[in-house]
Amino acid sequence: MKTLALVITLSFFFNYSFSQTTRKVILTEEVKVVPKGKKWILKAGETTRVQINPDVLKSGSLCNALFLSSPRMISRINKGDYFSGESFIIIFKNPEKVPYTNDFTYDFTIISIADKTFNINELENMNPEDVGLKHIEFKEGESLFVSNCLLSIEIIETNLSSAELIEKKKKEESIKELNKGKLENFNIPINPERFVKEGTIPEYKDKMLSAIIFSSKSVLHKSPSKGYGLDNTSLWKLKLNVNQLQIESSSGINKTYSIHNIDYDEIMKMQRFSLGDSNNVITHILLVAWSNSRNSYSIILSSSDDKEEYQFQNIELIDKQFQKP
């Protein structure tokens, strides 16, 4: 009897512990963020429940063609926001309509998860099990939502492991140290516009900023295919803080860059903001300075390979904020 009681107790304990660390989350068309200390997981070989867009069942639609194809596919899960990010397609098998629900709720088994590197032509010569990803994890702070052929999908939520928590803490400390250096250098120098000895400390127009916003009424733009061209019909806005640069144009251009480093450019006599992506690859350089002779800011944005460049003209200061002491 004692042995039986112990087995029951242990069974309850493990089931209780599992229920505390793992649960199902339903992704919908509304953006949801992975909570702190958690991760969301999709795995090949597991069964998940989805609610499909009614168009999936309409003959002639792309969603319908993918849903009935061999192998079967449905899209999509999105990571990021509505305007930019990464999307995933689920390749699946064994769809079964869930009884006592609507006509659009199914259970199916995931074969693989196709990301942006997936090419549907791969399926001509490869098995669906051999393309895409077998396992994908979404980390805390990442935004997710479904769209296109999906209305909802179940996804597993679990706690970060001890090793992941340690790695997370190290990363946070590294970012904190990096941000400290960026904050100390978030300054805009006065371009001397004459020769000065190398290593000369610049005078500053603005020092210890936390954010600054500019507008520009015209831009001289160099592109790899067309050379330089002047856009004097669009209104541009640049929002700069210690973490990112946002560029908006009335022509519809909307770009965001992460800031990886801030330092002083000895050659250009301007503050240099190294911009890049989430993989710490530097893709662009932003140069900012104040010109006493023109009584205006100077701003140049160029790709790291110098194939593209934006020289902003007629710059006006909209707002600037300083770090708190």
CATH of the domain at 214: 2.40.128
Same domain as 32, residue 138: yes
Tell whether 234 and 299 lie within a shared domain: yes
What is the structure's pLDDT at 278? 64
Based on the fold, state whether residues 223 and 318 are members of the same structural domain.
Answer: yes
- Final residue belonging to a domain, choices 112, 129, 162: 162
First-to-last C-alpha distance (Å) of the chain: 68
Q: Please report the pLDDT score of residue 318 as a whole number.
A: 96
Residues 133 and 207 in one domain: no
Clarify whether residues 156 and 268 are in a common domain: no
pLDDT number for residue 279: 67
Same domain, 27 and 154: yes
Do 149 and 268 fall within a single domain?
Answer: no
- Same domain, yes or no, for 131 and 247? no
The predicted structure's pLDDT at residue 27: 96
pLDDT of residue 10: 39
- Residue 150: inside a domain, yes or no? yes
Distance CA 163, CA 157 (A): 17
Write down the residue that tokens 């592109």 correspond to.
Answer: 223
Beta bridge partners of 75: 89
251, part of any domain: yes
Supply the pLDDT for residue 277. 73
62 in a domain, yes or no? yes
Question: For the chain, how big is the Rg over CA atoms in Å?
Answer: 26
Is residue 5 in some structural domain? no
Residue 106 has which token pair?
Answer: 């199914």
Q: Which of 162, 182, 217 is the C-terminal boundary of a domain?
A: 162
Q: CA 283 to CA 263: how far, in whole Å?
A: 16
Question: DSSP assignment of 224-276, as one string?
Answer: TTTEEEEE-SS-EEEEEESSEEEEEETTS-EEEEEEEEEEEETTTTEEEEEEE
285 in any annotated domain: yes
Q: Are residues 69 and 148 in the same domain?
A: yes
Distances (CA, A) of 163 to 166, 170, 174, 224: 5, 11, 17, 46
Q: Is residue 194 part of a domain?
A: no
Whether residue 198 is contained in a domain is answered as: no
Residue 96 lies in a domain: yes
Which domain range does residue 226 map to? 203-322
* Domains held by the chain: number: 2
According to the model, what pLDDT value does residue 161 have?
86
The pLDDT of residue 4 is 44
Indicate whether 135 and 246 sit together in one domain: no
Q: Which of 138, 162, 186 is the last residue before a domain boundary?
A: 162
The pLDDT value given to residue 325: 76
35 and 129 within one domain: yes
* Per-residue confidence in pLDDT tens, the chain, 325 aa: 444 443 344 344 444 444 447 899 999 999 999 999 999 999 999 999 999 999 999 998 899 999 999 999 999 999 987 666 789 999 999 999 999 999 999 999 999 999 888 888 888 888 999 988 999 999 988 999 999 999 999 999 999 888 888 888 888 787 777 777 788 899 999 999 988 998 899 999 999 999 999 999 999 988 877 778 889 999 999 999 999 999 999 988 888 899 999 999 999 999 999 998 766 789 999 999 999 999 999 999 999 988 899 999 999 999 999 998 7
Same domain (yes/no): 27, 157: yes
